[in-house]
Structure 1
């Protein structure tokens, strides 16, 4: 049981049972993270669909790529939930809450872009990346 003074740390990535990660697996892991950028062109639905498709296709054949796509999926689901909460707060306050929710939404967008790029670069190096403040909903 965690005390109130302990900090939360992300779960460690799964151990690689196949040894070193192949170049193809690193590339698919990078695609798992970068596929979230499809949301910029699809009205936001690509943020979820891109990593979901890669995770479903590669999870059995490429464990590293599947793990990274699942991590990107969990991160984007978390951001979607936060975005919905910000939207509800704006609507409940009849738009007055936008004074707070708009800057938070902008900060969220910038953090999403920066963390996605960092994750893609780490995955391309063969390093399993864990996004901060992510709900691990897809196990």
Structure 2
């Protein structure tokens, strides 16, 4: 008898949407917007169709935002440019997860511009 287990990916658009929206936890906890999507991605990437791609996009975006934030801190002393960059980073961190959650719920692919591709 063949007892081979077939790993079938399940469709779970709702979990994909939640994963994108979980980034907003940064505004409440400071780091939850990285930790929660990371945990969801690590635990669900082999079970949920599309989770591997979405998780990598989210983590690349989160890591990129962190790097941009670190770079902008010294720029505060250069004519206050860093303050404008931090505001822009904050707006991107707020708006893009919401836009992409809506895209995913509509069956469209998310897009995180300015993301550095650390995870491919």
TM-score band by shorter chain is 0.7 to 0.9
Aligned match for 1:64, one of 46, 50, 53: 50
Unaligned runs of 5+ in 1: 1-17, 91-95
Deviation at 1:88, TM superposition (A): 3.2
- Asked whether the equivalents of residues 51 and 70 of structure 1 are also in contact (C-alpha less than 8 Å), the reply is no
State the alpha-carbon separation in 1 of the partners of residues 47 and 114 from structure 2: 28
Per-residue Cα deviation, 1:9-63 (whole angstroms, up to 9, x for no partner): xxxxxxxxx8xx83xx1111111111111111112x1121121111101100113
Q: CA RMSD in A?
A: 2.0
Structure 1 runs, 4 residues or longer, greater than 4 Å off? none
- Matched with 2:14 is 27
Unaligned runs of 5+ in 2: 1-7
- Matched with 1:8 is none
Deviation at 1:126, TM superposition (A): 2.2
Name the count of aligned residue pairs.
113
Using the size of structure 1 for normalisation, the TM-score is 0.72
Deviation at 1:98, TM superposition (A): 6.0
Aligned match for 2:103, one of 102, 122, 125: 122
